[in-house]
Amino acid sequence: MSDSGKVLLIDGMSFLFRAFYASAWGGGYRQTSTGVYTNAVHGFTKMMLDYADLVKPTHLIVGWDVASRESLVRSQWYDGYKSNRQAPPEELIPQFDLVKEVTEAFSVPNLGCPGFEGDDVLGTLSTSLSADGHQVVIATGDYDSLQLVSDLVSVKILKNGGKHEHYNPASLLTMRGISPEQVVDVKALMGDASDCIPGCPGIGEKTATKLITEHGDLDRLYGNLESCTAKMRSKLEDHRDQVYLSQKLATIIRDVPLEFSLEAAAWEFDRDMVRSKFEELEFGRSLATRVG
């Protein structure tokens, strides 16, 4: 590893939505005395500090979605992409801007690019930074990010109760039976209902994993269909175009046009500035004591 350090990349939307729903399940939304909703921002800040304590990064960056569904690059490839997405709760909407005020108080860069998703931002950053010899840790709730795992890039998948699953190439193979390069091809076959990625009807995760591990990748599977049962061959042939479209939709884009300075992402902050923001948002003592 280069002596330039360790970079923690946070999936902003994953953290913010998880923080919102974790604190909202009982129906009570944290608010300031003037009625500003802060439950998601408070939870996000706690999670960011938790992962910073855990990873001990030298640098920290948050990646964000910044586009409506209709303006996404992937929506141009496939009309149905993420078409099932509901509007966020009204109590969460004002917190999208508020959370960035908090990260800015910590001098943490907020990065996004119109048309692209947070995954693409993290994919571009992790690819570029690891190519320069930096160790990268991605914290996200999205299993798609497992395709980014490498010798220098590990992924922590958020789970309930403040827990996570840690993935590097070895643990990915142990826990899911595939390599980082096979993550997209498994998704191409099984699809993803949450993102409206169609996949191949009738093929679930177990079968998709079996097919890809047996053949190596999607191209070799399609080049060797005669080895499949007649029923499986028929499914795969009938939905070939849909499967390859799903592969394209599931592939994280790693060359998003981002402007960023690693120096500006140093995990160092002005404690007075952070405390002032905490006071403004009436965060209370538990978080304040964590920033000294």
List pLDDT tens digits, range 32-51: 999 999 999 999 999 999 99
**Torsion of the alpha carbons at 254, 190, 68 and 90, rounded to the nearest 10:** -130
Count how many domains the chain has: 2
Q: Same domain, yes or no, for 244 and 258?
A: no
Q: Are residues 15 and 38 in the same domain?
A: yes
Q: Please, what is the Cα angle at 87 between 106 and 155, to 5 degrees?
A: 45
pLDDT tens for residues 3-14?
568 999 999 999
Using one digit for the tens of pLDDT, what is the confidence trace for 247-280? 999 999 999 999 999 999 999 999 999 999 999 9
Please check whether residues 285 and 245 belong to one and the same domain.
no
Are 151 and 266 in the same domain? yes
- Looking at per-residue pLDDT, the higher value among 70 and 48 belongs to 48
Cβ neighbors of 150 (< 8 A, separation 6 or more) are 130, 169, 180
Cα 86 to Cα 41, 68, 89, distances in angstroms: 20, 12, 9
Q: In this structure, are 144 and 233 located in the same domain?
A: no
- Asked whether residue 2 carries a pLDDT value surpassing 50, the answer given is no
Residue 186 is part of which domain span? 180-250
233 shares a domain with 187: yes
CATH of the domain at 196: 1.10.150.20
Length of the chain measured in residues: 292
**1: in domain:** no
Is this structure's pTM higher than 0.85? Answer: yes
Rounded CA separation 198/192 (Å): 7
Is residue 104 domain-resident? yes
* Mean pLDDT, residues 80-102: 92
